[in-house]
């Protein structure tokens, strides 16, 4: 039995594991990622794209407001911005960005074509295809691009 510095018996103390830090994981915790807004009146379009490194874009629309965010394979935010949407009545929608546009041209307004299943830029060819509501297909493509990290992110969200 151990003795205290005062000569009495010391009470047994639980081990802290030697003070070793917890094991590091390969990727950060994914709590807080909300790729798909499932609230009433909301529509989310996803698009997996291969830029310099793979990203998955989430375009969440509710009440004429657009929240755009793209994530890397490990779930970190690559780019995020907001826009107000204004329809001109002929099937085109103007997105007025609060910050920079997700496009490289850094404009403050873009023209989008939005329907029930797809969202695309009107003024440029879309080599990666439009963002769409086919979540399983987009997560499948993202997983193919990212390997295990993409599977982890897709498994967390779906």
Query: How far, in Å, CA of 79 to CA of 70, rounded?
Result: 5
Query: How far, in Å, CA of 106 to CA of 96, rounded?
Result: 12
The whole-number pLDDT of residue 128 equals 67
Q: Give the tens place of pLDDT for each residue, 24-59.
A: 444 444 445 667 888 889 999 999 998 788 999 999
Our separate counts of H helices and E strands in the chain read: 2, 8
Q: Is the pTM of this model over 0.85?
A: no
Could you tell me the maximum CA-CA distance found in the chain, to the nearest angstrom? 89
Mean pLDDT of the chain: 77
Q: Where are the domains of the chain?
A: 42-157
The whole-number pLDDT of residue 99 equals 85
Q: pLDDT exceeding 90 applies to what percent of the chain?
A: 35
Residues of the chain with pLDDT under 70: 1-34, 105-106, 124-128, 149-158
């Amino acid at each position: 039995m151990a003795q205290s510095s005062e000569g009495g018996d010391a009470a047994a103390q639980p081990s802290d594991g030697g003070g070793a830090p917890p094991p590091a994981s390969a990727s950060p915790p994914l709590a807080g990622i909300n790729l798909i807004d499932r609230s009433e009146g909301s529509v989310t379009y996803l698009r997996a794209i291969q830029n310099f490194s793979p990203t998955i874009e989430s375009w969440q629309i509710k009440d004429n407001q657009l929240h755009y965010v793209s994530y890397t394979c490990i779930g970190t935010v690559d780019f995020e911005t907001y826009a107000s949407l204004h329809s001109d009545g002929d099937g085109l929608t103007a997105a007025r960005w609060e910050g920079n546009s997700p496009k490289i041209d850094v404009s403050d307004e873009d023209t989008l074509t939005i329907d029930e299943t797809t969202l695309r830029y009107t003024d440029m060819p879309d080599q990666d295809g439009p963002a769409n509501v086919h979540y399983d297909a987009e997560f499948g493509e993202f997983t193919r691009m990212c390997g295990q990290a993409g599977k982890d992110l897709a498994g967390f969200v779906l």
